[in-house]
Amino acid sequence: MKTAALIPARFASTRLPEKLIQDLGGKTVIQRTYLSTLETGVFDEVWVVTDHELIQKQIEELGGKVFFSRKVHESGSDRIAEALSQVDAEIIINVQGDEPFQDKESLEELKKAFEDSSVKVASLYFKISEEDAVNPNFVKVVLNGQSDALYFSRSPIPFNRDKKEGISYLKHVGIYGYRREVLESFPTWPKGKLEELEMLEQLRLLERGIKIRMVETNHQAIAIDTAEDLEKAREFQKRLGKD
């Protein structure tokens, strides 16, 4: 199966303006994300899908492939679906543009999920504490017995009514794998009520009856949403000691 990584890279951002072009150890955030994705060696192709010429220029300076998005999109999955006209791959992995430190093992396991022909969409999760579960910026997921997602929420799920000990809370990692035909269809589906309420694009899939196979990872990705996140990423980049 030919596999491509598509990195949605919208220029505008709310909590940290122009976050993808902020400096991260001599390269920008989006350049770091592109390079770390490429360096995993997991993909046949790596593309950045952007709506801004500056991001396009920065990736092309690295010799990377860029699809320039001409439409306005509400989610990263909508954005990368537009690029399928130029991408020849059966499995598409949506790598978040603001997560500059990609993990080879996690991406390999995500790709491996598609060896099961019944899997149409897959994503990642890791275990978190009850204290972290109450943070609405952390998206939680609950699973069925086959490791398919039952629901995603910004609220702590499951609700621990009787205050039992040893409850597992699972944080969703916003990296998605799609079979091509599902991603092609995704933008044609209207947003459902749950997606509108939670502002979580993956709920559009669940509301359409599409199962999402969840794969556990130990890699806790650094997502850059705030100035504090950017400082953490800069410290981590220093520890890596890479150009």
pLDDT, tens digit, 9 for 90 and up, residues 176-230: 999 999 999 999 999 999 999 999 999 999 999 999 999 999 998 888 989 999 9
- What average pLDDT score do residues 4-9 get? 97
Question: Tell me, what's the pLDDT at 15?
Answer: 85
Strands 23-24 and 3-9: unpaired
User: H/E element holding 5?
Assistant: strand 3-9
Write down the mean pLDDT value for the chain.
95
Question: Tell me, what's the pLDDT at 168?
Answer: 92
How many whole angstroms separate alpha carbon 86 and alpha carbon 89?
Answer: 10
Across the chain, how many H-helices and E-strands are there? 9, 11
243, pLDDT greater than 80: no
Give every CB contact of residue 115 below 8 A, 6+ residues apart in sequence: none
How many whole angstroms separate alpha carbon 164 and alpha carbon 132?
Answer: 17
Token pair 């997602």 in the structure block, residue: 149
SS3 (DSSP) at 24: strand
Cβ contact 14:224 at 8 Å = no
Q: Is the dihedral of CA 53, 50, 137, 154 positive or negative?
A: positive
242, pLDDT greater than 90: no
Cβ contact 216:125 at 8 Å = yes
- The model carries a pTM of 0.92
How many whole angstroms separate alpha carbon 99 and alpha carbon 36?
Answer: 9
Question: Tell me, what's the pLDDT at 98?
Answer: 95
pLDDT band at 110 (very low <50, low <70, confident <90, very high): very high
Percent of the chain with pLDDT over 70: 100
